[in-house]
Amino acid sequence: MSRRFTVFSRLFLCVSFLTASLSASAQVASLPVPELTAKAWIVMDYASGQVLAAKDPDVRREPASLTKIMTTYLAASALRDRVLTPQQVVTISERAWRTMGSRSFLQVGTRIDIDTLLKGMIVQSGNDAAVALAEAVSGSEEAFAVRMNQVAAELGLNDTHFLNSSGFFDSAEARHYSTPRDMARLAQALMRDHPEVHAVHAIKEFTHDKIRQQNRNRLLWIDPSVDGLKTGHSENAGYCLVATAQRNGQRLITVVMGTANDATRTEETLKLLNWAYQSHDHLQLYAKDQVVTRLNVFKGAANVVPAGFAQALVLPVPKVRNGNPTVSFLREPRLIAPLAKGTKLGTMTVLLDGKPMADYPVVALAEVPAGGVFSRAIDTVKLWFQ
- Distance of alpha carbon 264 from alpha carbon 56, whole angstroms: 18
Mean pLDDT of 265-289: 91
Predicted local confidence at residue 17, as pLDDT: 37
The whole-number pLDDT of residue 379 equals 55
Tens of pLDDT, residues 70-103: 999 999 999 999 999 999 999 999 999 999 999 9
Gap between the Cα atoms of 332 and 110, Å rounded? 58
Q: How far apart are CA 239 and CA 273, in angstroms?
A: 18
Identify the residue with better confidence: 346 or 315: 346
pLDDT interval class at 11 (50, 70, 90): very low
Compute CA distances 199 → 121, 190, 202, 213, 245, whole Å: 14, 10, 6, 18, 12
pLDDT (mean) for 35-57? 95
Q: How far is it, in rounded angstroms, from Cα 194 to Cα 183?
A: 16
Q: Give the mean model confidence (pLDDT) for residues 276-286.
A: 86
Question: 333: how many CB neighbours lie within 10 A of its CB?
Answer: 7
pLDDT in tens, 204-247: 999 988 999 999 999 999 999 999 999 999 999 999 999 999 99
d(CA 269, CA 38): 10
Q: Is there a common fold for 3-25+287-384 and 40-281?
A: no
pLDDT attached to residue 26: 36
Higher pLDDT, 349 or 184: 184
Q: How far apart are the first and last CA of the chain?
A: 20
Secondary structure (3-state) at 343: coil
- Greater model confidence, 245 or 324: 245
What pLDDT, on a 0 to 100 scale, did the predictor assign at position 249? 86
| pLDDT for 16 | 36
- Per-residue confidence band for 356, with pLDDT thresholds at 50, 70 and 90: confident
Average pLDDT of the chain is: 88
pLDDT score recorded for residue 383: 67
pLDDT at position 328 is 79
**pLDDT score of 338:** 92
Decide: 328 and 354 in contact? Cβ < 8 Å: no
- For the ranges 54-68, 268-282, 358-372, the lowest mean pLDDT is seen at 358-372
**How do residues 109-129 score in pLDDT, each as one tens digit?**
999 999 999 999 999 999 999
Q: What's the rounded Cα separation, in Å, for the pair 295 and 340?
A: 14
Does the pLDDT at position 8 exceed 70?
A: no
**Cβ-contact 175, 161 below 8 angstroms:** yes
**The predicted structure's pLDDT at residue 223:** 97
pLDDT band per the 50, 70, 90 thresholds, residue 61? very high
Active-site annotation, residues: 65, 68, 125
CA 79 to chain centre: 20
At a CB cut-off of 8 Å and minimum separation 6, what does 159 contact? 58, 60, 177, 178, 179, 181, 182
Tell me 31's DSSP state.
P
Q: How many Å is the Cα radius of gyration of the chain?
A: 24
The DSSP annotation for 63-131 comes to -GGGGHHHHHHHHHHHHHTTSS-TT-EEEPPHHHHH--SS---PPTT-EEEHHHHHHHHHHS--HHHHH
The domain spans of the chain are: 3-25+287-384, 40-281
Q: Which CATH architecture has domain 3-25+287-384?
A: Sandwich (2.60)
Query: Which pLDDT belongs to residue 142?
Result: 97
Q: Return the top range by mean pLDDT from 238-252, 342-356, 357-371.
A: 238-252
pLDDT in tens, 283-309: 777 888 999 889 888 888 888 899 998
Please determine, for residue 186, whether its predicted confidence score (pLDDT) is greater than 60: yes
Residue 380: the pLDDT is 76
What band does 13 get if pLDDT is binned at 50, 70 and 90? Answer: very low
pLDDT in tens, 118-173: 999 999 999 999 999 999 999 999 999 999 999 999 999 999 999 999 999 999 99
Side chain identity, residue 230: K
- In CATH terms, the superfamily for domain 40-281 is DD-peptidase/beta-lactamase superfamily (3.40.710.10)
- In a 3-state reduction of DSSP, which class is residue 146? helix
Q: Which residue has the higher pLDDT, 228 or 348?
A: 228
Distance CA 4, CA 165 (A): 52
| DSSP-H helix ranges across 212-345 | 219-222, 262-279
Q: What percent of the chain has pLDDT over 90?
A: 64
